[in-house]
Amino acid sequence: MGPTRAETVLWRSLAVYAAMAIGKLVIGFAAHSRALQADGWNNATDLLALGAVLAGVIFARKPPDADHPYGHWRAETIATLVVAFLMFGVGLEVLSQAAASLLTGRVHTPDGIAAWVALASAAIAFLLYRLNRRLAVQTANEAVRAAALDNRSDALVSLGTAIGVACAKLGLTWLDPLVAAAIGAVILKTAAHIGRNAIHALSDGVDAALLDRLSREAGQTPGVERVKSIKARTHGSNRLLVDLTICVRPDLNVVDSHRITEEVERRLQAIHPVVHVHIHVEPDDPQADSALSSKLRS
């Protein structure tokens, strides 16, 4: 299989972020700008995240096998969790160095080139955001959409870096390490958000609102009297495995019941990337269910 459009976007973003991270770190150290260095480390964490997601996407395309009957999509989530830990370490390092500069008073006046580099980086990140957002709309790909949002955040961070360096150049030297500390906090917050979502997915967590929406959609399918139960778990970045029990009229034959399950599956897949649906069909008998519930309570 050739590379998907999402992979092409990730490769493009990797190249851009590698150039920005290296450029910011080299010029940040040369220009004595803590803020630009922190911005460079922020791009370096993005580089790690993109690399891990790309590796996960490529590995996830492997077809199901005897050991992985549901496929390898969770490789994306595992890669994301590893990246969250790496980002957390980088964020702590950036924050501690900025705090040390502020507390000890060892603050240098940054060179003006640092501000121009940050401005150029903000423009590039915003352009990348526009391109990736357009492709995300065209392909309805969640990985591309997430990359676009990250591009926008990085553009805002770089813009803040430019402002901080410019103010430090005008005499407010403490603003440069203060901006660096803020960027370190942003990295930590991003790492916590990514890690929390990855752990939630790996522990078979699912959004309750999405589950309710899927249940309503299944219940509104012609022929379905009611949805008795529904469960789901995330598989990869945005794919769901769904198990549900539906009740149909007791007089329906197997063929008609099967047609209803096919329509339920089609409707669920139309509103979300559901890769597998397991549907158990039961005859609709509310009185029997009520009697069973009373017996279990007693």
Note whether 150 and 216 are same-domain residues.
no
Q: Which residue has the tokens 């591309």?
A: 144
Top-confidence residue, 125 or 62: 125
Q: CATH no. for residue 221?
A: 3.30.70.1350
Using CA atoms of 126, 131, 134, 140 in order, give the dihedral in degrees to the nearest 10: -100
Burial 209-244 (b: 16+ CB within 10 A, else e): eebeebbebbbebeebbebeebebbbbbbbbbbbeb
Q: Of 245, 249, 242, whose CA–CA distance to 222 is shortest?
A: 249
Last residue of a domain, one of 161, 184, 202: 202
225 and 189, same structural domain?
Answer: no
pLDDT for 52 equals 72
Which tens digits make up the pLDDT trace of 261-293? 999 999 998 877 788 899 999 998 766 555 445
Q: Could you tell me the residue range of the domain that residue 284 belongs to? A: 208-297
Which whole number is the average pLDDT over 75-79?
75
Last residue of a domain, one of 202, 217, 241: 202
Q: State how far the Cα of 259 lies from the Cα of 181, in Å rounded to an integer.
A: 59
Query: What pLDDT does 99 receive?
Result: 83
pTM value is 0.66
Average pLDDT for the chain: 81
Among residues 136, 170, 202, the one where a domain terminates is 202
Tally the domains of the chain. Answer: 2
